[in-house]
Structure 1
Amino acid sequence: MNITILGGAGLMGAGIVRDLLSDRAIVPIETVRVCDASPERMDALKAELGDARIATFPLDVTDDSRLAEALAGADICINAVPTLLGHQMRIFEAALSARVPYVDLGGLGVFTVKQIAEHARFEAAGVTAVVGVGSDPGMSNVLCRAVADELDTIDRINLYWAAELEGPENPVLVPPYSISTVLAEYAQPSTQFLDGRHVECAPLTGTEEIELPAPWGRCSFMYSPHSEQLTVPLAEGIREKGIREFTWKLHLPHREHEAWVGLVKAGFGVNNDPVTVGGVSVKPLDVLSAVISRNIAENRDRIPEQQGSEIHFAIGRGTRGGKPATVRCEVVITPDPLYDGYVDAGTSMNASIAAQLILAQPKRPGVFAPESYFDVPSYMRELEKRHFKVRTTVED
């Protein structure tokens, strides 16, 4: 199989490359074409991994001819270009034109509805696209399908993600992923599915306290913009069961939470229109990103070793066998030597799993969210191969 990864030398893309070339591969990998705007990052990744199957390809995704060349001959396109850069629909359409199966990492649901609306065009062209295939969204959607399949009728499904860090206090603010994404999660309104319909909810609302085991402890969750709530309650096999509520809530590490709240209060993430400073027009997020990156670089010797753990869980309530039932499906990711070298093993490994499952099985043309495409048992087996702890419980 020949796989093209756009943004393949970025934080998430590099992790996807690692998993594809590992001994966990589901399908035989002949070539991984790493396409990126940074030749330096591509060369560094190739040198680090030392795998002859890596082919580097300098790419500006706004260059249509180069984009078409990057997709030529590919068995699948993995779009790991940061969603909030605004290139998602361009790449999505390029994959359709090239008749190449497509996956992306989602990105707060910014383009999800537009992409799903193109289902008929992709189906007619015989092209498969599955959108939002990281950990959240992606794996989280599959957890929701696992919950839904255990229930005969569904009242509600509530989806949660919590991250926590163990170790000395970090004197440096280190974002868990893209700064623009974190601030959007904190500053932008979200769409939730409440009382049988989609409604817009204000940022930092929907707060809910849940007691979790160590290392998380008592966590405060909040509504956040994501794509799962846009697709799961409308999915075939879920909507017919009468679902009236679906929510997605976030908890970032206790120590960093207040920093992000403070930045939002200061205006970051709310409006990124340029401001004039000393006669120069600059975008607030560009300045913030540059300052944080510089601070990390200048203080690397002060950044302590911290172990990150995350838990993804969906709780479904409804009926089973004519009786009230609660189903919980969770995936726990704790420190493991397998994840060395990954910035975010959860997101990277899940994108690799999704792409390979599409290649390993007969393809279904059209545009799908993960809960409408993947077989739950096959997906869960791949998670366990990567040392993710999967558990489903049913309480009647």
Structure 2
Amino acid sequence: MGTKRIVFIGAAGEMCRLAIERFAVADGDWELALYDIRPDLLEQLVQRLPSGLATAARLDLYDREGLRAAIEGAALVVLGAGPYNRTAGPVMEACLQAKVPYLDFDDDIESTLHALSLHEDARAAGIPMYIGCGASPGFTNVLVADAAAELDRVDNIDVYWVVGDERGAVGRAVLDHMLRVAAGPCMTWENGGPVLHQSWAETRWTELGAGLGLTMVHETAHPEPVTLPRKYPDAKNIRCFGGLDPAGYNGMIRGVGLAVQTGKIPVEKAIDHLEALMLNKSGSVTGWRYALSGLRNLVRTREATRGEVLGFLAKAAVGHTFPHRSALKVEVTGLRNGLPAVVERRTPVSGPGTYLFTDMAAATGTACAAFMVVALDDESVSRAGVFTPEEWAEPERFYKALERVGTPRDEIFAISH
């Protein structure tokens, strides 16, 4: 069949760079075309890859002619540039016009809904468009499908994610996303239908792996409760809960997020403040006012004690980086052989010395690379439309793809009943 040309847009982003590096581990006759508005940031990446595998060039994804030329004839176009509520539309439209397959790791509800609205357009174009192919959504959706397959009837689906200290590795698009999931409307699935909640308002404690143990998490605006009802329309409740580790970060992001939501601080100024903190700089006085308000709220809700908050602030003030701990977990309840049953899947390890959950970029990039492997292996399958992971990525094939891109099997998930 010849060499397959794979196009990456936004290739210099941390998560996309990891996806490229991990994808390159898999065996295949690939030609990687890396595009970014900052191509100079790609030089070291190209040098690290096998000789002749990749080329790098400049591309502004809002340049319609340049975008069309870049993706022409691609076997797959991977969008790694965020925030997706601004970038996905132009790239998806270009892929529809050029009739080339598309894949992303979109974690925004608004752009996910827009993508789903293009299903008939993608069918007419005769191409697959794979959305939400990261860690959460993405890996989580496959875990749900795997767990649900053990039940005769699915009643409730709960998705959990926790992200650890990401100092120095978080871009502005990620911070923009976090502000929106920490405050504002949260579309979810309750009592058999879609409803709106407020992000971060409801909390619960859950037992997580990867060294986290019993952890408080917050209901958050994420795509899983929007997409999973397509596969499980009879489920009563489908919800997503998230959090940051250590808990002090929850307070800071919630406090600043609420300030953005209520118009007290512009979103760009809020991102400036958080970006400064991630780079161990002081941030702004205004940003700290709202961050401290969020930290005080942690004590009120008993997510953390006053001593824990003060200890967090003291360590953060001197640039202390907390040991990275992150995890994914899904819990599916329903009936099996006529009896109530609960099936869980959760990731077992994270942090230094691991491959899949070293940090958020590793988790998202590795999952994206595995989804790419499955998608490219499926080229002979006649599939056209917009698809979320639970609809097309069979769990065992996805787990094997994770191994093909370098993941040790014992890092992928733990089973609990």
- The answer to whether the 8 Å contact 2:118/2:386 transfers is yes
**Which aligned pairs between 1:30-45 and structure 2 lie closer than 5 A?**
30-45=30-45
Single out whichever of 36-45 and 286-295 deviates more from structure 2.
286-295
Name the structure 2 match of 1:278: none
- Alpha-carbon shift at residue 106 of structure 1 (Å): 1.2
1:201 aligns with 2:186: no
Q: 1:359 aligns with which of 376, 398, 409?
A: 376
Name the SS for the 1:52 alignment partner: coil
The TM-score normalised by the length of structure 2 is: 0.81
Contact 2:9 2:78 (C-alpha < 8 Å) held by counterparts: yes
What is residue 277 of structure 1 aligned with on the other side? Answer: none
Q: Which residue is 1:217 aligned to?
A: 213
CA distance in 1, matches of 2:124, 2:265: 40
Say yes or no: does 1:373 pair with 2:392: yes
Distance 2:370 2:169 in 1: 27
Which residue does the alignment assign to 2:149? 149
Q: 1:386 aligns with which of 407, 411, 416?
A: 407
Q: 1:261 aligns with which of 254, 258, 262?
A: 254
What secondary structure, in the 3-state scheme, does the structure 2 residue paired with 1:372 have? helix
d(CA) in 1 for partners of 2:206, 2:105: 28
Report the Cα offset of residue 270 of structure 1: 5.3
**In structure 2, do the counterparts of structure 1 residues 320 and 268 end up closer, same or farther at CA, with 3 Å as the change threshold?**
same
One-letter amino acid of the structure 2 residue matched with residue 194 of structure 1 = E
**2:363 paired residue among 332, 346, 353:** 346
* Residue 326 to residue 286, structure 1, CA distance change in 2 (3 Å): closer
Q: Which runs of 5+ in 1 are unaligned?
A: 275-281
Tell me by how many angstroms 1:346 deviates: 0.8
Report what 1:279 is aligned to: none
Q: Please tell me whether the aligned partners of residues 15 and 342 of structure 1 are also in contact (alpha carbons under 8 angstroms).
A: no
Q: Which amino acid letter does the alignment assign opposite residue 248 of structure 1?
A: C
Conserved 8 A contact 2:36-2:57: yes
**Cα 1:270/1:131, change in 2 over 3 Å:** farther
1:5 aligns to what? 8
Aligned residue in 1 for 2:126:
126
Residue 176 of structure 2 corresponds to residue 180 of structure 1? yes
Choose between structure 1 and 2: higher helix proportion: 2
**Alpha-carbon contact 1:173-1:292 (below 8 Å) kept:** no
Q: Which residue of 2 aligns with 1:245?
A: 237
Q: 1:338 to 1:164 in 2, by over 3 A?
A: closer
Give the superposition deviation at 1:312.
1.1
- Residue 273 (structure 2) pairs with residue 288 (structure 1): yes
Q: Which residue of 2 aligns with 1:15?
A: 18
1:201 alignment partner AA: H
The answer to whether 1:229 aligns with 2:214 is no
d(CA) in 1 for partners of 2:388, 2:29: 25
Deviation at 1:342, TM superposition (A): 7.0
Is contact 1:269–1:285 with CA below 8 Å preserved after alignment?
Answer: no
Question: Which amino acid in the other structure matches residue 252 of structure 2?
Answer: A
Amino acid at match of 2:387: F
Deviation string 1:267-298 (CA, Å, 9 cap, x unpaired) is: 23655986xxxxxxx94245335634664599
SS at match of 2:16: helix
The one-letter code matched in structure 1 to 2:348 is: V
Change (3 A) 1:141 1:338: closer
SS in 2 for 1:110: helix
In structure 2, do the counterparts of structure 1 residues 379 and 272 end up closer, same or farther at CA, with 3 Å as the change threshold? farther
Structure 2 letter corresponding to 1:255? G
Amino acid at match of 1:9: A
Whether the aligned pair in 1 keeps the contact of 2:19 and 2:369 (CA below 8 Å) is yes
Check the 8 A contact 2:192/2:235 in 1, yes or no: yes
Point out where structure 2 has 5 or more consecutive residues left out of the alignment: 284-315
8 Å CA contact 2:137–2:222 kept in 1: the answer is yes
1:310 has 2:329 as partner: no
Tell me which of 179, 188, 194 is aligned to 1:192. Answer: 188
Aligned to 2:340: 324
**1-structure distance, mates of 2:139, 2:209:** 21
Normalised by the size of structure 1, how large is the TM-score? 0.85
- How far off its partner does 1:36 sit? 0.3
Q: Aligned pair in 2 of structure 1 residues 340, 347: CA closer, same or farther (>3 Å)?
A: closer
Instruction: Indicate conservation of the 8 Å contact 1:180/1:269, yes or no.
Output: no
Listed one character per residue, the Cα deviations across residues 11-65 of structure 1 (whole Å, up to 9, x for unaligned) are 111111111112xx1x514311111000221223223446421110200011001
Deviations 1:218-268 (A, max 9, x none): 311111111110010221xx22xx311100000211232222123234x23
Give, as a single letter, the amino acid of the residue that structure 1 aligns with 2:24: L
Q: CA deviation at 1:75?
A: 0.6
1:137-193 Cα deviation digits (max 9, x unpaired) = 01111111112211111111111112345xxxx9x7975981111111112221110
Q: Is residue 164–residue 215 contact of structure 1 (8 Å, CA) maintained in 2? A: no
Alignment partners' CA distance in 2, 1:14 and 1:138: 18
Partner of 1:113: 113
The 3 A distance-change label for structure 1 pair 342 and 222 is closer
In the TM superposition, residue 6 of structure 1 has moved relative to its aligned partner by: 0.5
CA shift, 1:389, in A, is 3.0
Which digits, 9 at most, give the CA deviation of each residue in 1:291-336, with x for residues without a partner? 34664599x9x64565423221111111111221111122234233
Describe the SS at the equivalent of 2:143: helix
Partners of 2:264 and 2:43 in 1: CA distance:
33
* Match in the other structure for 2:289: none
Contact 1:333 1:346 in 2 (8 A): no
